[in-house]
Amino acid sequence: MCDIQGELKPGQAVMRVSPTLSFPKEHGKVKLAVMQMVSGSLAGLTDICLLYPLDVMKTRFQLQRPGTPNAYKSVRHCFSTIYRSEGFLSLYKGILPPIMVETPKRATKFFAFEQYKAIVSQWETLPQPCVFLLAGFLSGCTEAFVVNPFETVKVKLQSERMAFAAQKSAFATAREIIKKGGLGLKGINKALPTTICSYCVSNTLFFGTYNNLKTYLFDDWEKVSIPYRLLVGFTAGSVACVSNTPWDVTKSLIQGPQPTPGVVKYKSTIQTMKLVIKEEGFFSLYKGLLPKMMKVGPGGALMFLVFEHVYGYLQQIL
């Protein structure tokens, strides 16, 4: 028997009916969208469950100021200090908001990118590398609005140096934030403009780097081995991490507890960046970079790998 397998159109997957016979399987736009969201959700859940302690340590470093008592000296020192003084479960402080948000967040991240990519690809004058970058930028704008309220709660919980069991729940913390500041930029959506900047920069380079590397370095991505796929994903995650860290540090300072209770020191994106550079130096905008890279680099590799495998599998079985 001969293979029956023509050129695939967008939205088609190959259906195998025998070892030597295959033909395209049509998928509607809604069905593809659901597959993208499910695949993105599982990718995000995998990332958060495996690498969350590094996110807690990243936030602790970002909120640490010169002269802070019992300052963390290294990633190892931070880990051991939290473990000894607050207990192992404190490394998972604030994990409920991320778990609740990672599903819609990563679903939004990958779904939005795929949808924007399909739209932007119709602009024939736009080079393909720019298609990936622009689609990533737009997906970052969309993701920021979804994730910001959860980030506000997470940062507050992560910043508290107390035993896990002594903390308020995520829901109680969210109610407290809303009661004090409302639903706007002084409350649960604190630092939203900074979050938008952070996610736009991150997603532009995250998706742009990954898709351009796999397009221009490999002739047939389907035949590329898992180690190389992980390496490309790790590279994309690391590039995005280094580029958006100043925005992430700024966001944490605005959302986190202020140095003097009752006095708002960090008010806006540019004002906070200028203040940090003036008081602590330029490189203070990269506080927490090491634990963040230890999380985002492998996290990027894991998310792309899980997303592509789940998405491909769903297209084959549905």
Q: State the pLDDT at residue 6.
A: 45
* pLDDT higher than 60, residue 282: yes
Q: State the pLDDT at residue 226.
A: 93
What does the buried/exposed string (b/e) look like for 27-39 if buried means 16 or more CB atoms within 10 Å of the residue's CB?
beeeebebbbbbb
- Cα(148)–Cα(53) distance, integer angstroms: 20
Q: Which two tokens stand for residue 61?
A: 């470093």
Which CATH number fits the domain 12-317, given the four candidates 1.50.40.10, 1.10.287.130, 1.10.600.10, 3.40.50.720?
1.50.40.10
| Mean local confidence (pLDDT), 36-65 | 85
What does the buried/exposed string (b/e) look like for 187-214 if buried means 16 or more CB atoms within 10 Å of the residue's CB?
bbbbbbbbbbbbbbbbbbbbbbbbbbbb
Q: State the pLDDT at residue 156.
A: 86
Domain ranges of the chain: 12-317
| Mean local confidence (pLDDT), 25-30 | 78
The three-class DSSP label of residue 58 is helix
Quick check: 163 and 86 in contact, CB under 8 A?
yes
* pLDDT higher than 90, residue 154: no
Q: State the pLDDT at residue 18.
A: 35
Main-chain phi, psi angles of 79, to 5 degrees: -60, -50
Strand partners, 21: 18
pLDDT tier at 25, thresholds 50, 70, 90: low
Quick check: 140 and 202 in contact, CB under 8 A?
yes
The three-class DSSP label of residue 259 is coil
pLDDT tens column, 103-144? 788 889 999 999 999 999 999 899 999 999 999 999 999 999
pLDDT tier at 44, thresholds 50, 70, 90: confident
